[in-house]
Amino acid sequence: MSERDVRRRIVSISPPDELEAERRAWAVVRTAFDEREPVGRPRRSLVRPLLAAAFVLALIAAVVNPPVLNALRDALGRDREKTVYRQALFRLPASGRLLVNSANGPWVVRKRGAKRLLGRYREASWSPRGRFIVALRAHELVALEPGGRVHWSLTRTGRLAFPRWSQELAGSTRIAYLRGPELRVVAGDGTGDRVLNRRVPRVAPSWRPGETFDVSYAGRAGRVQVEEADTGRTLWRSGRLGRPLALAWSDDGERLVVLLPHAAAVFGRKGRRLGRTRVDGTAAAVAFQPQAHRFAVLSRDDATGRSTITLIDADALRASRRVLLAADGSFRDLAWSPNGKWLQTGWRTADAWLFVGPKGTQKVVSSIARQFSSGSGGRARFPAVPEGGWCCPSGD
């Protein structure tokens, strides 16, 4: 076979889905181009008129859109010099990939800002090492790769919700999810689907990191219980707590925080209640910081319209708490970077994401809804980042 023949064959190889990939890439590149901030000084005399025009446009934008600017100004607060603004998500401030659930489906955002729309799925969340994603599509539970390739799907009647992937143990994993009022568990390869509890409230289950597949969930009468998923054995059950909103484990599996409408209750691995702490306003989200016994709580004071993110030490509930952010407007979601140094939250009122970093550093990225719309017209909706949505540097 001649060199020319080899070359001809190499040239004839095309990636699957080539045109669709080009369409997706152009949409991302075009958005980044529209939002870029030129850094160099152009050499032509056209520069001044262009700058003048840009200034006038900025002025018009400021007049036309004061709520956004006001909200962003408020965010500057006392640490103006520590806040960086970006008009597009050019890169994440730390390693890992971010999973974003938008009205058009989940997106995977890589550290350098490249992003991919996976398709018409909802409620996506990561597998333990970020090599797979579990998501819902109509009546299907679907396991797919971050590139969009489907590995398996499971069709079930009823309303499916909250799929959550467990840690990996000896090469296997489990996925817990809700079907109507039922809590169900299926193996990570899509086999062995079964009911764990026939009647639970609509709260996302949470896997305890550890040596067995222990799933915690909100049970009846405002209690939280932890069960060994493979045997169905109840390991422990809490007293009546009220109305649990969310559950989160520290990544060593030693602390569980249960978020309640106006408080957070902390439990040890075996169910010992370690304390309860008040939350200012109404609680909205909770997330444990990686490699620590600290968790962040997002809450909102409905009277003042002010939202707060507080960092609380699970081992010293009363003694140690620090306000990471306090700003006007409505926020949603909390996602820690895998290295535990940055915390992402969605600022709906300002259509922005806020990354809170070490020593009070903040990065604000605006126009989030538009960046996560598919460009098919209509009003773009603000997307959500699922719990644990910032995942896995090694998979990047």
Partner 1 sequence: MAILGRGEAAWVRGAQAGSASDLEALFREHWPRAHRAAYLVVQDAAAAEDIAQEAFLSAIRSLDRFDRRRPFGPWLHRIVVNRAIDWARARALRDEVAGDALAHHQAPPNDPLDPYSEPVRAALASLPPEHRAVIVLRHLLEYTPGEIAELLELPRGTVNSRLRRGLDRLRSALPEVQRV
Pattern 90-129, binding to partner 1, x per CB under 8 A?
Answer: x-------------------x-xxx-x----------x-x
Residues 300-359 that bind partner 1 (CB under 8 A): none
Q: In 145-288, which ranges are E strands?
A: 150-155, 160-165, 174-179, 182-187, 194-197, 206-208, 214-218, 224-228, 233-237, 246-249, 255-260, 263-268, 273-278, 282-288
Strands 306-313 and 294-301: what pairing? Answer: antiparallel
The verdict on 146 binding partner 1 (CB under 8 A) reads yes
211-217, long-range: CB < 8 A, 24+ apart: 211/169, 212/169, 213/166, 213/169, 213/174, 213/185, 215/166, 215/174, 215/176, 215/183, 215/185, 216/247, 216/249, 216/256, 217/176, 217/183, 217/247
Is-contact 186 175, C-beta < 8 A? Answer: yes
Q: Which of 48, 120, 149, 278 binds partner 1 (CB under 8 A)?
A: 149
Segment near partner 1 (CB under 8 A); pick from 5-13, 73-81, 256-264, 335-343: 5-13
φ, ψ for residue 254, nearest 5 deg: -95, -20
Q: Which of 18, 49, 272, 376 binds partner 1 (CB under 8 A)?
A: 18
Encoded tokens for 345: 């939250």
Rg (CA), the chain: 23
Nearest by Cα to 126 from 326, 393, 320: 393
The verdict on 42 binding partner 1 (CB under 8 A) reads yes
The verdict on 171 binding partner 1 (CB under 8 A) reads yes
The verdict on 375 binding partner 1 (CB under 8 A) reads no
Q: Which is nearer to partner 1, 211 or 301 (CB)?
A: 211
Neighbours of 19 (CB within 10 A): 8
What is the nearest approach in angstroms of partner 1 to the Cβ of residue 30? 7
Count interface residues toward partner 1 (CB under 8 A).
60
CB neighbour list of residue 340: distance below 8 Å, 6 or more residues apart: 289, 290, 291, 292
The verdict on 10 binding partner 1 (CB under 8 A) reads yes
Q: Which is nearer to partner 1, 185 or 298 (CB)?
A: 185
The verdict on 49 binding partner 1 (CB under 8 A) reads no
The verdict on 28 binding partner 1 (CB under 8 A) reads yes
Q: Which of 51, 57, 65, 189 binds partner 1 (CB under 8 A)?
A: 189
Encoded tokens for 314: 């699970």
Encoded tokens for 144: 């797919």
What is the nearest approach in angstroms of partner 1 to the Cβ of residue 304? 39
The verdict on 253 binding partner 1 (CB under 8 A) reads no
Segment near partner 1 (CB under 8 A); pick from 12-20, 98-106, 242-250, 254-262: 12-20
Is-contact 85 76, C-beta < 8 A? Answer: no
Residue with tokens 């719990």: 387
Q: Which is nearer to partner 1, 170 or 319 (CB)?
A: 170
The verdict on 45 binding partner 1 (CB under 8 A) reads no
Contact footprint for partner 1 (CB under 8 A):
1, 3, 6-7, 9-18, 21-22, 24-26, 28-30, 32-34, 36, 38-40, 42, 44, 46, 50, 90, 110, 112-114, 116, 127, 129, 131-132, 143, 145-152, 168, 171-173, 188-189, 394-395
